[in-house]
Amino acid sequence: MKKVKATEQKTVDISAPNMRTIETTITGTSPYISNKFSNRIKQGMIEDQSKGGEAKRTKKTAKDFDKLWKEAVHYSKAGWAGIPATSFRQGMISACRLINFKMTLAKMSIFIEPDGFDAEDGTPLVKISKGTFKKQVAAVRAKDGTLLLTARGYLDPGWQANVRITYDADQFREESVANLLLRVGKQVGIGAGRPDSKTSSGIGAGMFLPQMAKQNRGRK
């Protein structure tokens, strides 16, 4: 009879997440353009698609541009206007391509703390602390090449927001997080018309400069 060796057991030491939070005020160096998908239009699509084969095409109705641009802005349950927190997180993850850092690791290492949530769809929001939205009517091109007019919320340069970033300090140093956000503000942008738009090269909108301020320490 051959002796069977006992299987060696190995243990792995897993440290607790070393999460830290830094806070910064950002100031827009170019316009910010909000392009929220209208909840009213979404509900209309749900009603049409829920009818299945019974749904019929209806004639196009006249566009109410004043209503459209207001619906394109995110408003919290408390009534203030905000920017989707995901705009900053996605921008920072995208900026990792510029420094050859793995985007898959960044997805698990960078988070934006919301100030509130959209009153209609629950989108996490960062509060706009300075700036008042106004109407912008702009031409956009549909997938079939058709040129259309749409109305969106528009903030003049100089708009401000306070952004709180929670990050894994085992992956990033504080200075690196600050520089990553700076790259978003200088190279990636947020909102409609940003340089890093998935559908175009943008119009230079959504650019900003951050000024790092407070930091909350994680474990030492």
**Residue 50 within a domain:** no
**Residue 165 within a domain:** yes
Q: What is the pLDDT of residue 147?
A: 79
**Residue 72 within a domain:** yes
If you average pLDDT over residues 146-162, what whole number do you get?
A: 92
**Residue 117 within a domain:** yes
Could you tell me which of 155, 153, 13, 3 has the C-alpha nearest to residue 72? 153
Residue 197 confidence class, pLDDT cut points 50, 70, 90: confident
What residues make up the domain containing 153? 19-37+64-216
Under DSSP, the state recorded for 60 is P
**Residue 51 within a domain:** no
pTM, two decimals, is: 0.81
Query: Cα separation of 187 and 207, whole Å?
Result: 8
Cα torsion through 100, 210, 33, 77, rounded to 10: 110
Q: What is the pLDDT of residue 213?
A: 47
**Cβ burial, residue 119 (10 Å; 0-12/13-18/19+):** middle
Residue 198 confidence class, pLDDT cut points 50, 70, 90: confident
**Residue 9 within a domain:** no
If you average pLDDT over residues 196-219, what whole number do you get?
A: 77
Is pLDDT above 80 for 4? no
Question: Residue 69, CB half-sphere, CA atoms under 13 Å: how many?
Answer: 17
- List pLDDT tens digits, range 90-132: 999 999 999 999 999 999 999 999 999 999 999 999 999 999 9
**The total number of structural domains that make up the chain:** 1
Phi then psi for residue 99, to 5 deg, are -115, 10
